[in-house]
Structure 1
Amino acid sequence: MKGVQDVKVGVLSFAHVHAGGFARQLDAMDGVEVLAADPDTDLAAPGEVRGKDFASRIGVNYVDTYEELFAWGPDKVVVCSENVRHRELVERAAAHGVDVLCEKPLATTPEDGAAMVEACRAAGVRLAVAHPVRFSPAYLAVREAVRAGTTGEVLTVAGANNGYMPGARSRWFTDPELSGGGAVMDHTVHVADLLDDLFEASPALTVYAQTNNLLYEGRAAVETAGLLTVTYANGAVLTLDCSWSQPGHHPAWGGLSMQVVGERAVLEMDAFDQKVHGFSETARAAVELPYGVDLDALMLRSFLFGEGPVEVTDGAAGLRAVRIVAAAYESARTGKTVPVAG
């Protein structure tokens, strides 16, 4: 039974595919009381369950409007709306003096991201961004080795963040007016955030990118594949495959891997490969049985209670990732290497 001193957490929108998981995990935590609101369901795909019906399905308390949710007096909120609607909800939380965890990417443009960071700074509230891979034991082992000097100076990083095309579950992901872009917007930011932490905020300087939508051709109005080369002020170079290239029938939604090449050592990590791999003769298909930690749960507990080995990504770091994405789109448009705005 929830107690009178519980942390009150509001979930703003069920648009994002992670919203239901966040809401369920929060509701299951001792010391947490959850209330959700999802009034902006006008853009949901036919057959997509949203609003009160979705809240009933996952078993969380629900109100019809954001006004009612803020009148409830939340201590913290989690924003899970379409990307383009992040700014208005974060600024609303700031105006109510409420700490906010915003789904990634922080914003669809650097201008919106900067306004969100400033609104929260001026209001004296915390702005965090949902980049759970910082909590991966594999990443933390890489981080420890780099910080200890085991690798020597990092020279290059080869990263890949692949996954399903999310538009199959939530149509807005493939609508550029709501998502801000496709695979580059969706998947660049996770690896960019890891390197922002690994390099201790050494800034990205330039980006060269190529994109196409040959994958799922005719099913998406955004790019479904992207390749980036990013140079950093510390001399390191990142190459990144950020494509929606995981087939829909694969047992795993996707994954994030990095190879970090240093002067004295090469480190390899896969953030989501804590699994037993096998094959089901009955199903005639590959199977994967995960046993690893839940990165979303670790991130949420860090945001709520300050627990865990690292802190949740802050708004400033989220904005730096958005600036890399913006430079990538400009590079793909012009065919040139583009400087990252500072």
Structure 2
Amino acid sequence: MSAVSEPMSPRQRATWAVILGVCIILIVIRCFIGEGMGKVYVEPTNLQFGELSADTWKSMDQSEFATFVASNPDAATEQWTQYDSVPPSAYFEQQQQGGGGSIFLSWPRTIGLWLAAFFTLAIYSFLYRDNPFYKFAESVVVGVSAAYAMVVGFWDTIVPNLIQRLLPQFAHDHLTPGMTLPTDAAQFNNLIFLLPLALGIMLLCRLVPKGAWMSLWPLAFIVGTMAGLRIVGYTEGDLLSQVRDTISPVYVPGADTSTPFMAVWTTIWSSVAACLLVIGVLCCLVYFFFSVEHKGAVGGVARVGIWYLMITFGAAFGFTVMGRIALLAARFEFLFDDWLWLIDPNQKRALVETVSMLMCL
């Protein structure tokens, strides 16, 4: 059963209305201070390429490209315009010099910036309580992520691993023109890929109630195959590596031999670390050995194992929290730097503009 949030009371609706009104007023005021806020400027760059030989292309500037076309009228060429984001300070300098430059405001990227700010604030609004803005942002994130994963899966998995092998000519003509067509013998060997095609179609039968039983076969194949692959990977990557590190010598020569003191010092610390590793592994194994009651010496060793486990879990949790704090700081920097233009840690805008804006505030 899906959890249904309680409807907001009139007081909560009034609170949200006041908060939104204040935010909108502050944003409107900020838009008219200095050069405004939340703008993305771009500079177009013309790119020209000429084909010197088969599958060999060269990037050329405007004059070199014109000379190449004049001397090689039948050669293949490609050219397009690339729009690169530039800091607002470049646009401000262009305007101070009288304008007329190539830098201009990009409305699509500016709208994207404002949408990113809106969705960021909508997600953070859940800190107060569940609300329509959060639900809308959550639905958009889930929908866009699912669509993106589907498109990436089609082009990165289905096209190269299935369509290019079973229908190479069709893939070459309509999907991936740059692919190399296989020989007749290789194409005959690719018929084995009809098996995953059949399993994929059977998996889709889960959408049909009467044919849902057919999806159990490919599902069992997927689970069994992945379990076999994972157990081999975990055995080699985790179990064997931990066993190898545990049975390493407890005496480890120091890596820093620049001076006799540093050689002795690094040797001591490396050996102590190796001893602590062995002691920790043995104590943790004793803690999880429940055939003997944890009393006396066994209980003391198990207690040391608990300390090792708590230190490990605490370090892992702290590392996770710091990673989330870093993400939070990045979003705050996006809001205050890229959107509101209240800070400028990377000097992307003119210093005079930042100072004048702060004085107006």
TM-score range, shorter chain: under 0.3
Structure having greater relative contact order (Cα 8 Å, sep ≥ 6): 1
Name the one with the larger helix percent. Answer: 2
TM-score by length of 2: 0.19
TM-score by length of 1: 0.20
